[in-house]
Structures are given as C-alpha cells and as structure tokens.
Structure 1
Amino acid sequence: MKRKTKWANIYLIVVFIILYTPIFYLMYYSFNSGGTMHHFEGFTLEWYEEVFHDTRLFIIVLNTLVISLLSAAISTILGIFGALAIYYVKKRQMKNMLLTLNNVLIVSPDVIIGASFLILFTIVGIKLGFTSVLLSHIAFSVPIVVIMVLPKLQEMSPTLIDAARDLGASPWNVLTKVILPYITPGIFAGFFMALTYSLDDFAVTFFVTGNGFSTLSVEIYSRARQGISLSINALSTLIFLFTIILVIGYYFINQRSSRPGGLGGRK
C-alpha cells in the first residue's frame, strides 16, 4: 500500500513539474532586461510598465473582465434553473437525454462550437463583437454550471423539501430558503468555473470577435504571431496571478460555506 502511495506521489510531482515548468519559465523571463528568452541579462520591470501604459490593452482587459463577469453571472442563473429542471424530471430516459444534451457543448471541440456560433450569428444578423462574444460565452458556460450544481441537488434529502412544504412554505420560499442555501457551494463552484472558462477561452472567442473588439486571449495570440515580445510574458504572468487569486478566493468561500453558520449553513 505504501509503495503504491509513493508511486502515486511521484507521478503527481512529475505531472505538476511538466505543467508548471513552462509557466515559471515564462514568468522568469518577464523580468529579463535583455528582451529575449534565451539569456537572462538582468532584472527589470520594463515589460510590466509597457503593459500598464498600453491604453489599448487596458481597454481589452476591461472588455475581457466585463464579458467574463457578465457571462458567469448570467450562465450561473440559467445553470441553476437548468439543474433544477433536470433534477425534477421524473422519467429516467428524459433525464438522461437532457444530461446528454447538456454535455454536448462540454465535450464538443471548441473549433466546431466557434464555427457553429459564427454561422448562427451570421444567419441571424447579429453583428460580431461584444454581443456575439457574450452570447457564445454564456452558451458554453451554462452546461458547466449545471454540472457543478446538479450533484449538490442530488445530495439534498427530499425530506427537507417535504418538511418545508408541511410547514406551509410556498414554492418560492422552498426555493430561496431551503434549496438555494443548500446548493450554495455548487453555485459558487459553477460561477468561478464559468468565470475562469470565459477568461481562458480562445478558440470560440476567436471565431465570434469582430473588428474593433478583442479579448485578452485573442490579443495575446495576435501579439505572439508578430514575434517574441516580453510584454506578452508580463501580460501572461499577470493573468496567471489573477487566476491564482480567483482560485484562492473560491477556496476560502467554499471553506466558509461548508462551516455551520456560513454560506448555506445553519443560522
């Protein structure tokens, strides 16, 4: 048993090294005064200053944050009702079919999803830009929220709802006073997952962005094609640190919500 645990730990260490070494390499050279990623000549914050003084980049960052927050909020609301709809379906075949349809956007290649949205927006007449990006991000984020919320609903004992109804609670009170507080950890998990997916998405966004509108992922790709610039390293480092802050924030919120008296706990 100890030998299996040892090999499992070694495997995890190797995986993390493979995953994080390129990221730390990129971060390390974001402080290089030499302007290349081949030889570290000296420490500098020049590339970070260049990022912070780039007005166009600042607008793109705002676009990305607005898109991510809006899409995460809207998809969380839609995902909650979607999970509730699937949960209350009594026929097993219908429930499995709905779950399968929900998972289509998760397992489908991003290129196909992006191309499909591009064709749809072109046919409908929606101009490519803020609206098209927002709608596409909401579309692929809703299934993620459903997947995060549904297990919490399945964990909930039906007797809680029956007891609330026996005490005279209306359907609205059952939803707001019993169900939502219980599934709060799943809601926060879905929101943060939708937020990070939106921040990270490139393939779908690349298809549905129009002239004059861009997000960070598309901008980084465009700059990388023009050649090596350590401002890309600096920008990528800032995005990585922001993601770490989101993960830590989600961890503390989840820890708080799991305690009695916390979010979704006893009051």
Structure 2
Amino acid sequence: MKPGRFDATVLTIGFAFLYIPILILVIYSFNASKLVTVWGGFSTQWYQQMWHNEALMDAAWVTIRVAVLSASIGTVLGTLAALALVRFVRIPARMLFSAMIYAPLVMPEVITGLSLLLLFVAVGVDRGFWTVVIAHTTFTMCYVAIVVQSRLVTFDRSLEEAALDLGCPPVKTFFAITLPLIMPAVVAGWMLAFTLSLDDLVIASFTTGPGATTLPIKIYSQVRLGVTPEINAACTLLIGIVTIGVIIASVATKRREYQRQRDEHLATTAA
C-alpha cells in the first residue's frame, strides 16, 4: 500500500523537527561572528580555537575513552546475557534475570545514576574515570543484549549441532560458527552502546569525579553561561563522528550479509 499524502506530510514534519535544529547547529559552527544567532560570514576559526581549548579537548578525550571501553565491555556482557536468555529457557531464575536485563531500559536515568552513586559511596569507591565506565557499561549492555537476542531467536542451531557432531568443542563452535553469524548484530549493538555512552549526561554527572569530566558535562556547564561558537564546533564534530561510525557499520553489515548470501548461493549451486 502506497503512503498517502497525510502520511508523507506527517513524516516530513517529523524529520524536519528532528534534523533542522541539527542542521542549523552545523551551519552556525562555521559562523564568523561571536554571536551564535547572527550570521557574520563563513569561517573555520572556531574549530581552530576549539583545538586549542585544552579543557574541551581533555573532556572529549575522556568521553571517547569511556565510550570505547564501556561499549566494548558492554558488548561482551550483553552478548553473553543474550545467549543465556535464548539458550537457557528452563532455568528457574530466568524471569528474574530477564527483568534485571530489561529494567535499565525503562528506568529513568536519574534513578540509575543516583543508585550507582549510592553504591559507589557505600563501597567507598572514589568517583572518577572508572566509575563512569562501570556506570555506562551497566546500561549499555542491556541494549546490546536486546539487539543480539533478536538475532539469536532466528538463529539456525543446526549449524552448531553439525559442528558438535563432527567433534568440534563447544567453545570453538561458538567462535567458529555462532559468533561470525551473529557478528552483524554484535557490531550493531556495539555502535548503539558507543553512541549512548557518547552523549550521556545524566548518569555521567552522578558518577563522575575530578579529572573525569565528559564532553556532554563540559558542554552543559558552558551552555548555562551562554552558547559559544566553540560549542557548536564541538557538537558538529560529535555529529560527524557518530555519522561516520554509523555509515561504516552499515557498509560492513551489508558487505557481510552480501558475502553470506553469496556463500550460501555457491554452496547451493555446488550441491
């Protein structure tokens, strides 16, 4: 069924509401004027000043390190959690385990951040870089588990059973058969976790400490005193990093899917 005129209009308004503000931010990051709302000509001076802003660059470096570490750890834990949810369906505590996985998805970030803060204070852990990594890993692994679980539900287990019947150990079967087939979902989960960690403000503000200020926190603290063109430049770079990462992940996923279909076609032809 073709979309009607009303559907197209609503879709256009929705996309315009989402992306026009981002487009305006990107355009005004090249504004020569110090006033962010007054166009004074094209210039890249704010990008040059941003690179020389040590506080902003330190916050950006902390953000990238936190995002990479939390996304990587969260992807490993989330993949294992997805395997447990799909493969071990008869364990008594499965319902409780599922609830613990899904809870951070619906729980307000303020509650999550405050709970982690109270936990770190109770165990006497000084807040800093690693507490932010732990906090981000806690909620990003849930998203990874959902993405990987959706792939495992439609996974053909006969391939694993064939490898096990031929004498392949379970661990080797996982790395040789299962992991390559679910890799697109794992990569998608990592990208989602990386993006969520990259722009998190609420949870990081509760769990951060001296020397671990992330870029969203730095931007928020400066915006409260007034938006500067350097902030526009920093946000534009964040948008560019996320966009490039999504494009790379999409291309890699499509290539892997094309290679899989090609291998299946060759195997069918040979048979």
TM-score bucket of the superposed structures, by smaller chain: over 0.9
Q: Distance in 1 between matches of 2:118 and 2:93?
A: 29
Q: Distance in 1 between matches of 2:184 and 2:7?
A: 29
Q: How does 1:79-118 map to 2 (within 5 A)?
A: 79-91=78-90, 94-118=93-117
Deviation track 1:111-133 (CA, whole Å, cap 9, x = no partner) reads 11111111110111111110110
Q: Distance in 1 between matches of 2:94 and 2:149?
A: 12
Task: Give the equivalent residue in structure 2 for 1:175.
Answer: 174
Task: Give the equivalent residue in structure 1 for 2:258.
Answer: 259
AA partner of residue 247 (structure 1): V
1:76 counterpart SS class: helix
Task: Give the equivalent residue in structure 2 for 1:22.
Answer: 21
AA partner of residue 69 (structure 2): L
Q: Distance in 1 between matches of 2:56 and 2:38?
A: 27
% identical aligned pairs:
34
1:87 counterpart SS class: helix
1:260 counterpart SS class: helix
AA partner of residue 88 (structure 2): V
Q: Distance in 1 between matches of 2:253 and 2:34?
A: 41
Task: Give the equivalent residue in structure 2 for 1:223.
Answer: 222
Q: Distance in 1 between matches of 2:260 and 2:132?
A: 39
Superposition deviation, residue 48 in structure 1 = 1.0
Q: Confirm or deny: 8 A CA contact 2:71 2:193 kept in the other structure.
A: yes
Deviation track 1:140-159 (CA, whole Å, cap 9, x = no partner) reads 11111101111111111222
Q: Confirm or deny: 8 A CA contact 2:29 2:229 kept in the other structure.
A: yes
Q: Distance in 1 between matches of 2:57 and 2:70?
A: 20
Task: Give the equivalent residue in structure 2 for 1:31.
Answer: 30
Count of residue pairs brought into register by the alignment = 265
Task: Give the equivalent residue in structure 1 for 2:245.
Answer: 246
Superposition deviation, residue 160 in structure 1 = 1.7
Q: How does 1:58-73 map to 2 (within 5 A)?
A: 58-73=57-72
Q: Distance in 2 between matches of 1:5 and 1:165?
A: 52
Q: Distance in 2 between matches of 1:82 and 1:38?
A: 48
Q: Distance in 2 between matches of 1:41 and 1:81?
A: 53
Task: Give the equivalent residue in structure 1 for 2:146.
Answer: 147
Deviation track 1:79-120 (CA, whole Å, cap 9, x = no partner) reads 111111111223287544432221101111111111111111
- RMSD between aligned alpha carbons? 2.0
2:141 counterpart SS class: helix
Superposition deviation, residue 136 in structure 1 = 0.3
AA partner of residue 22 (structure 1): P
Q: Confirm or deny: 8 A CA contact 2:129 2:211 kept in the other structure.
A: no
Q: Distance in 1 between matches of 2:119 and 2:184?
A: 34
Q: Distance in 1 between matches of 2:169 and 2:245?
A: 36
TM-score using structure 1 length:
0.93
Task: Give the equivalent residue in structure 1 for 2:53.
Answer: 54
AA partner of residue 165 (structure 2): D
1:35 counterpart SS class: coil
Q: Confirm or deny: 8 A CA contact 2:36 2:228 kept in the other structure.
A: no
Deviation track 1:171-209 (CA, whole Å, cap 9, x = no partner) reads 112211111111111110111111101101111001111
Superposition deviation, residue 9 in structure 1 = 2.7
AA partner of residue 147 (structure 1): I
Superposition deviation, residue 38 in structure 1 = 2.8
Deviation track 1:28-71 (CA, whole Å, cap 9, x = no partner) reads 22222221133212222121111011122222211111111111
